[in-house]
Chains A and B, each alone.
Chain A
Amino acid sequence: MRKALAAVALLAVSLATACGTKIGPGHDDKEVHLGLFVSTSGEIATFGEDTKKGVELAVEEINAAGGIKGKKIKLTHYDTASKPEEGKAAATKLATQDNVFVAMGAVASGISLAAAPEFQKYGIPMVSPSSTNPTVTQQGNYIFRVCYLDDFQGAACAAFAQNDLKAKKAAILQNQDDAYSTGLSDFFEARFKKAGGEIVAKESYKKGTSDFNTQVTNIKAKSPDVVFLPCYYNDAALIAQQCRAQGLNVPLLGGDGWESDKLVPNAKGALEGCYFGNHYAEADANPKVVAFVEAYRKKYGNAPSSLAALGYDVVYVVKKAIEDAGEFDRAKVRDALAKLKGYEGVTGKFDIDENRDARKSISMLKIEGEKFRFVRQINPSEVE
């Protein structure tokens, strides 16, 4: 018994001396270690997979071109299984066991919010590709993002509906389980009402729904001038078809979640003449975008969605920040990220503002046949 106690005491002492978490540098002579955490299983696996593909493509390209300042990228990805608790676990593991230099993730704001405090605690910069909830970057000065915020995008869509589509009455159909959807919806509503418009119907559906007829019937009865669909491309295509089947033929309007080469084929013509906001205006004009789409298609066999493009941009933003910082030092990379201005990515040209959010304009596109025609650009200053 006494021996056992002594052993326990010894163990406790030896453990206690090992205390105080030290975070490794995250790079050595040959490699810089980047972490990625997105959901590649569970309900939002679709979006995590797209992001991961974009990230992996960028890493492959950078490594083929000699890496970042001569160091190859080593990428470690952990699945977050569409659950915040797994996001926190993955973040803790990336920070304290893998000692990544910079972390990238997550798609869903809920998961980014659970993960962000961990990276903040250890002073590891975290860049989210697509978490749009304003509170994500408020978690600390090491947390950044490269996507739009809900408030800007929702307001921009509302301004477009009022000024360009001359809509007086709008209806909204939102996914009530998705923070991206309800976020856009709230800010659209606020802006639309403020400018004298009327929201005639605000309908909701649960995630995973594929029959929207009940909501469409309700919307049709209120005869709106435009229907705002803050959702991803897979929902948009189905909703559009069901709207047309019931004879609701007003323009539909969406955000960057619509971007996908599957949008038009899946909608089977139901989205003809509809509008959505996107990161880049003319995909054909910008050589950077053309090269990205080409490389993506070659590697994966289909065109990238906006999530893949954002994932791709995150890696290049990190590369740019490290190069700007001049050395592999997390605090300096953080400062470089905070000072990033006029960065030209495949998702458009953007600055990082004082809230560590990407400030970029939104391009409103019109769906014409298989093509998206550029209508006009909305700058953040226009709706502020």
Chain B
Amino acid sequence: MLPLLETSDLATRLLQQCANGVAKGSVYALVAVGYTRVYGVLQLINFAHSDVYMLGAYFSYYPAKWLGYMPEGAEKPKVPFYVLGLAFLFAVSACAATGMLIERLAYRPLRNASRLSALITAIGVSILLQNVGQMVFGADPKSFPRYMDQESVALGPIAVADTSLVIIVVAAAMVGALHLFVQRTRTGAAMRACSHDMRTAGLMGVNVNATVSLTFALGSAMAAVGGMLIAMDQPRLTPTMGLLAGLKAFVAAVLGGIGSIPGAALGGLLLGVAESMVGAWNTTYADAVAFVVLVVVLLVKPSGILGKSGREKV
């Protein structure tokens, strides 16, 4: 019986790694949908997206702090539910406004310029947000209010944090809702029209500026939710917390086929599980192997897993 026990031990370990990967992947997916949405409409890699995610985490930190739920040097009290709601609303609306503002000031004037100029302003806005964030919030890492108690939930032989479960559920729900919104509503149709051909969409009576603004508002709101949820799970806020998350989410979005919402979710999950599975063997090279996997997938499907392969017109 002993060998069997050992194999089941290994199986448990792999199962646990799989769960780790799904939790990690859901985080990537949450951030990746924002990238993919903006890309779908503007063909712009919105480098500042990961910094809006950072702002989301900070914006959901401050309401609880202002209301006295982050006392200095004492045990943090549990935050009541209405404060959570308040923080959520504040973070979502503030981030949506920030996203729209960024689009209005930094991207709209460049809409007819080359895509690369817009990319450079996006990088500029990203560095700007990080440093303004540091000037306003400070460079020291901040903990997070006790919106939710982090506890370990046993699922059969494996253990998952309840916050991870919340992330998985919310990520799935949000991606589903966004997908339905884009596919089934009139506004969603306007978005799709803009991503197909902005000029023609305008001629057809779509308010292009409003649609693009809305896209940014939606993407930024989702980044805010992502920032808040991830801060609950991994409570450490820094002005540069968006760097790695943004890079991974961007990779996930491309892996799934940039522009596609289900693709972003799938890309995120795949990247997360791949990292964990490789990590089960060796964590030193996990990231390197994840990138190799990415390149191989792209070589087989050059426009990502669910991406549309645009045929070149002559």
A and B touch in the complex (CB under 8 A): yes
Asked whether B235 lies within 8 Å of A214 as measured between CB atoms, the reply is no
| Interface segment out of the listed A64-72, A261-269, A345-353 | A261-269
Whether A210 lies near B283 (C-beta < 8 A) is no
User: Are B139's CB and A40's CB within 8 A?
Assistant: yes
Chain A residues with Cβ below 8 Å from B24 are 211, 213-214
Complex contacts, A238 vs chain B, CB 8 Å: 234-236
The 4 closest A-B pairs by CB, nearest first: A208-B244, A214-B279, A210-B234, A213-B20
- Chain B residue numbers with a CB within 8 Å of A204 are 283-284
Asked whether, in the complex, the Cβ of B140 is within 8 Å of the Cβ of A301, the reply is no
A247 to B13, CA, bound (A): 13
Closest to B159 in A: A246
A342 beta carbon closer than 8 Å to chain B? no
Residues of B within 8 A of A28 (CB): none
CB distance from B232 to the nearest CB of A (A): 12
B143 and A246 contacting across the interface, CB-CB below 8 Å: no
The answer to whether A50 touches B140, judged by C-beta atoms less than 8 angstroms apart, is yes
Contacts of A43 in B (CB 8 A): 240, 243
**CB pairs A–B below 8 angstroms (5 shown):** A211-B234, A213-B24, A214-B276, A215-B283, A218-B280
**B283 and A41 contact, CB distance less than 8 A:** no
Instruction: Across the interface, name the chain A residue whose C-beta is closest to B276.
Output: A214
A208/B76 contact (C-beta < 8 A), A214-B275, A262-B143 known:
no
Is B161 located at the chain interface by the 8 A CB criterion?
yes
| CB neighbours of A90 from chain B (8 A) | none
- Chain B positions within 8 Å of A, measured between CB atoms, are 9, 13, 16-17, 20-21, 23-24, 27, 72-73, 76, 131, 134, 138-141, 143, 150-152, 159, 161, 230, 233-236, 238-241, 243-245, 275-276, 279-280, 283-284, 286-287
Which chain B residue shows the least CB distance to A268? B150
Q: Determine whether the beta carbon of B143 is less than 8 Å from that of A265.
A: yes
A275 to B17 CA separation, bound complex (whole angstroms) = 28
Given contacts A205-B283, A214-B275, A218-B279, contact A42 B13 (CB under 8 A): no
Residues of chain A within 8 A (CB-CB) of B73 are: 261, 265
- A204–B279 alpha-carbon span in the complex (Å): 9
Q: A46 at the A/B interface (Cβ < 8 Å)? A: yes
Interface size grouping (class) on chain A: 35 or more
Q: Which listed residue, B143, B240, B276, touches A208 by the CB 8 Å rule?
A: B240
Chain A hits for B141, CB < 8 A: 46, 234, 262, 266
* CB within 8 Å for A245 and B150 given contacts A41-B131, A41-B134, A238-B235: yes
Closest CB-CB distance, A260 to chain B, in whole Å?
9
**Are A266 and B241 closer than 8 Å at their CB atoms?**
no
Which residues from A are CB-within-8-Å of B280?
214, 217-218
List CB contacts (< 8 Å) of A226-273 with chain B. 234, 237-238, 241-242, 244-247, 261-262, 265-266, 268
Known: A45-B240, A241-B150. A211 touches B23 (CB 8 A): yes
Closest to B16 in A: A217
Q: Mark A186-213, 1 if CB is under 8 A from B, else 0.
A: 0000000000000000011111111101
A302, B230: Cβ atoms closer than 8 Å:
no
Output the residue of B16, B140, B287 with the most chain A CB within 10 A: B140
Q: Which A residues are CB-close (under 8 A) to B241?
A: 208, 210
Beta-carbon contact of B143 and A214 below 8 Å: no
Once the chains bind, are A217 and B243 in contact (CB under 8 Å)? no
| A214 with B234, Cβ < 8 A, contacts A208-B244, A245-B161 known | no
Is A96 positioned at the interface, with any CB of B under 8 Å from its CB?
A: no
Given contacts A205-B283, A214-B280, A218-B279, 15 further A-B pairs with CB under 8 A are: A49-B140, A204-B283, A206-B287, A208-B243, A214-B20, A214-B279, A221-B13, A237-B236, A238-B235, A242-B161, A247-B152, A247-B159, A262-B143, A266-B143, A268-B150
Whether B244 contacts A209 by the Cβ 8 Å rule is yes
Q: How far is B141's CA from A46's CA once the two chains are assembled, in angstroms?
A: 7
CA distance A210 to B286 in the complex (A): 15
1/0 contact string of A147-187 vs chain B (CB within 8 Å): 00000000000000000000000000000100000000000
Which chain A residues border B21 with CB–CB below 8 Å? Answer: 214
